Chains A and B, each alone.
Chain A
Amino acid sequence: MSITMKDIAAKLGVSESTVSRAINNKPGVGEDTKQKILNLARRYNYQPNLLARNLARQESNMIGLILPDISSLFYSEVTRAIQDIATKHGYQVMVCNTDSDEKRESAYIEWLQGNKIAGIIFLGNGLANNKIINLGLSGYPIVLANRLVEEVMLPSVIIDNNTGAFEATKHLLERGHKRIALINGPKDNLTAQNRFRGYREALKEYNLDYDPSLIINKDWSRECGYQGFLELLNLEEPPTAIFAANDLIAVGVIEAIKMGGYLIPEEIAVVGFEDTIVTSIIEPPLTTVAQPMYELGANSAKKLFSLIEDEDIEENIEILTSKLIVRKST
């Protein structure tokens, strides 16, 4: 068991508050006494009791991260970045999975605040609800990462999905493809809608009308990529290129293409979206739109620490753009 302030005080015959002042470099302790205390603390490897210190200061060296589900590759990459920045600032990250349940989110907010957590990052896709708005209005440090808010300006870092989809489709068009299919997430999903818009805008730039039969809306899974490609094969004129709206869909598409004995990219080209770890596992390596996941996490955390440390924020809303990474599938 390590030595406590009380032990040091007893050994040197001084009061506990004198030991505390010496260790925390506060005035009111004679130089000789201070040196004796510090020497003893060093010799016995004194470690401050952080829990007790934070209790006394009514603050903690923790930040909260509220997200839908850390098991998603996207969220875990963002979380990693947040933790890296937090560590540099001497903070720990408390991760709270909500499964997009508003009640759980509310409960976490209350719990984090009750435990004097220094600030919270809200990571996710939905709208910020009133509880978050109220937190922001009250001056409590919060940052929204990829989460939108209608009523007020809250410090945010957001990935622009639209331009990524535009670049992916444009890349296929530049490779000479004219029949480009889009296998997308659910029709009513905002991210899916944005990716569809980027796709359509690229076709428009090349004076091509979009063909509704080439658009498939399912969900974001590998299975849907697989099924989606089989559906496209039934068309009278099947596509020569597939834009898969995320990497998992792309994996499913590639599996289906290989099952049919087609060659990638000679017969069918594939582009994914996200640049998660699967893109380097799959064969051929996937051309994909890299979402700046690490940057999303790192910049959100930097913003939060600026707020916690009462520094000015350069941009209240920071937009990150996606970048096309060309590999072997196109």
Chain B
Amino acid sequence: MAKVTLKNIDKIYPNGFQAVYDANIEIQDKEFMVFVGPSGCAKSTTLRMVAGLEEISGGELYIGDKLVNDVAPKDRDIAMVFQNYALYPHMNVYDNMAFGLKLRKFDSSEIDRRVKEAARVLGIETLLDRKPKELSGGQRQRVAMGRAIVREPKVFLMDEPLSNLDAKLRVQMRAELSKLHERLQTTTIYVTHDQVEAMTLADRIVVMKDGVIQQIDDPITLYNQPTNMFVAGFIGSPAMNFLDAKIEARGDKLVLTGTGFDLTIPAKMSQAMKELETYVGKEVVFGIRPEDIMDPAFVETNENVDTVEATVEVIEPMGSSIHLHLSVGERTIVAIVDPQSEAKVGDVMKIAFDLKKMHIFDAETEEAII
């Protein structure tokens, strides 16, 4: 096992296109690190540079303490798992896991030990004699994992390994991957475009956009303290609501004002007041997550809460909650409210914002202010 360090890594293609800009990531030994971002953000390219599938244009890549920029991929001690794996239909499960070791001329007793150990960890010991066509989708995925496990690598690199599975199986395999990582404790880099997968699997997450790292943090910090509007909007579903606003000083109070709303920042939030004072008169973006917008009928305290008027456009009953699509001024926002809420389409209602949970971004740089 080993840590993986990316220092000032760049990827520039021969045609001059720069895919990755100055990536600095330190993945700790045994850590489960997820690279997430929309398609084209270069998360897979970054992973492939670690694998040695792509050449590194600039910077240094270490696996453990060893600089591996010029080390051949096969000598990097890594194993890759892709979504599009191949199980050979004429080989049984045992051979499908063993053939790589056989071709690398491993001793047959060592191959046997590794295959049986991997099968035990994956719970497929009873399937070793079966052919792929006799397996379910989940079992097949486990065999593909087994093929990587038998290599006993220092690092697993996984590129969207679950994206071929149907939704139900994906959830199940996600849980299994978590358990597997608990057991094996192998450093893992996992690439996905699915933020739910990222949040549920990761020790830490690297959020990328257009080849630039936006933030590296644990899932909760990423959710509660996004460093910019991109991260705030990308992590969380339904996504964070954004409203254009301005900070105004009214007497000793600071007010966040925009089309259709005026929110007084509670005096108690002194730290926020301090940060926002320098933005008085300036354009900002007000961000609030759907679950931090409430139907006032179900709000127990007025502390740190302010209300605005909104029109109900769409109601989505989810069972445990209701998603309300509301128009505030010219913008539409989404709120997750109590399932008992009696809101109806067309209602003009007061909605409550939990300002303790609000986010304010610099409108120009899109960086978080609070």
Chain A contacts to B: CB under 8 angstroms: 125-127, 129-130, 133-134, 137, 148-154, 156, 158, 160, 162-163, 188, 190, 193, 316-317, 319
Instruction: Give the residue name and chain of the B residue nearest to A135 (CB).
Output: B53
| Cβ contact within 8 Å between A154 and B53 | no
Give the CA-CA distance A125 to B80 in the complex, in Å: 21
Contact of B73 among A130, A152, A319 (CB under 8 A): A130
Least CB distance, B217 to chain A, in whole angstroms: 30
| Cβ contact within 8 Å between B99 and A153 | no
| A130 and B53 contact, Cβ closer than 8 Å, known pairs A150-B100, A193-B102 | yes
Least CB distance, B163 to chain A, in whole angstroms: 13
| Cβ contact within 8 Å between A160 and B85 | no
| 10 CB < 8 A contacts A-B | A125-B103, A134-B48, A134-B54, A148-B100, A149-B86, A150-B99, A152-B82, A154-B86, A162-B90, A163-B90
Give the CA-CA distance A151 to B80 in the complex, in Å: 6
Chain B residues near A125 (CB, 8 Å)? 103
| Cβ contact within 8 Å between A150 and B147 | yes
| Additional pairs, 12, CB under 8 Å, beyond known A148-B100, A317-B86 | A130-B53, A133-B53, A134-B48, A134-B54, A148-B103, A152-B82, A152-B85, A154-B86, A160-B90, A163-B90, A190-B103, A317-B89
| Cβ contact within 8 Å between A319 and B90 | yes
Least CB distance, B140 to chain A, in whole angstroms: 12
| Cβ contact within 8 Å between A188 and B82 | no
Least CB distance, A297 to chain B, in whole angstroms: 19
| Cβ contact within 8 Å between A148 and B53 | no
Least CB distance, B270 to chain A, in whole angstroms: 54
Least CB distance, B98 to chain A, in whole angstroms: 10
| Cβ contact within 8 Å between A127 and B104 | yes
Contact of A317 among B48, B73, B88, B102 (CB under 8 A): B88
- Give the contacts of B86-134 with A (CB-CB under 8 A): 86, 88-90, 99-100, 102-105
Chain A residues near B80 (CB, 8 Å)? 151
Instruction: Give the residue name and chain of the B residue nearest to A197 (CB).
Output: B95
| Cβ contact within 8 Å between B90 and A153 | no
Least CB distance, A210 to chain B, in whole angstroms: 15
Chain B residues near A134 (CB, 8 Å)? 48, 53-54
Chain B residues near A190 (CB, 8 Å)? 99, 102-103
| Cβ contact within 8 Å between A129 and B100 | no
Give the CA-CA distance A134 to B74 in the complex, in Å: 13
B51 at the interface (CB under 8 A from A): yes
Least CB distance, B112 to chain A, in whole angstroms: 12
| Cβ contact within 8 Å between A148 and B88 | yes
Least CB distance, A258 to chain B, in whole angstroms: 35
Instruction: Give the residue name and chain of the B residue nearest to A153 (CB).
Output: B86
- Give the contacts of B35-51 with A (CB-CB under 8 A): 48, 51
Interchain residue pairs A-B with the least CB separation, the first 10: A130-B73, A153-B86, A160-B90, A150-B100, A134-B53, A153-B84, A319-B90, A151-B80, A188-B105, A152-B82
B81 at the interface (CB under 8 A from A): yes
Chain A residues near B148 (CB, 8 Å)? 150
Give the CA-CA distance A160 to B74 in the complex, in Å: 27
Interface string of B30-69 (1 = CB under 8 A from A): 0000000000000000001001111000000000000000
Give the CA-CA distance A188 to B85 in the complex, in Å: 25
Contact of B53 among A137, A149, A316 (CB under 8 A): A137
Instruction: Give the residue name and chain of the A residue nearest to B151 (CB).
Output: A150
| Cβ contact within 8 Å between A129 and B73 | yes
| A153 and B85 contact, Cβ closer than 8 Å, known pairs A126-B103, A193-B102 | yes
Chain A residues near B81 (CB, 8 Å)? 151
Chain A residues near B103 (CB, 8 Å)? 125-127, 148, 190
| Cβ contact within 8 Å between B51 and A130 | yes
Instruction: Give the residue name and chain of the A residue nearest to B97 (CB).
Output: A150
Least CB distance, B61 to chain A, in whole angstroms: 15
Instruction: Give the residue name and chain of the B residue nearest to A144 (CB).
Output: B86
Give the CA-CA distance A130 to B86 in the complex, in Å: 15
Least CB distance, A170 to chain B, in whole angstroms: 17
Least CB distance, A187 to chain B, in whole angstroms: 8
Give the CA-CA distance A319 to B90 in the complex, in Å: 7
Instruction: Give the residue name and chain of the B residue nearest to A125 (CB).
Output: B103
Most buried by A among B81, B89, B148: B89
Give the CA-CA distance A188 to B110 in the complex, in Å: 13
Chain B residues near A150 (CB, 8 Å)? 99-100, 147-148
Chain A residues near B51 (CB, 8 Å)? 130
Chain B residues near A163 (CB, 8 Å)? 90
Least CB distance, A61 to chain B, in whole angstroms: 25
| Cβ contact within 8 Å between A130 and B52 | yes
| Cβ contact within 8 Å between B90 and A130 | no
Give the CA-CA distance A190 to B103 in the complex, in Å: 6
Give the CA-CA distance A151 to B82 in the complex, in Å: 6
Chain A residues near B89 (CB, 8 Å)? 317, 319
Instruction: Give the residue name and chain of the A residue nearest to B157 (CB).
Output: A151
Most buried by A among B52, B74, B103, B105: B103
Give the CA-CA distance A133 to B54 in the complex, in Å: 11
Least CB distance, B146 to chain A, in whole angstroms: 11
Least CB distance, A130 to chain B, in whole angstroms: 4
Least CB distance, B271 to chain A, in whole angstroms: 49
Most buried by A among B74, B86, B102, B103: B86
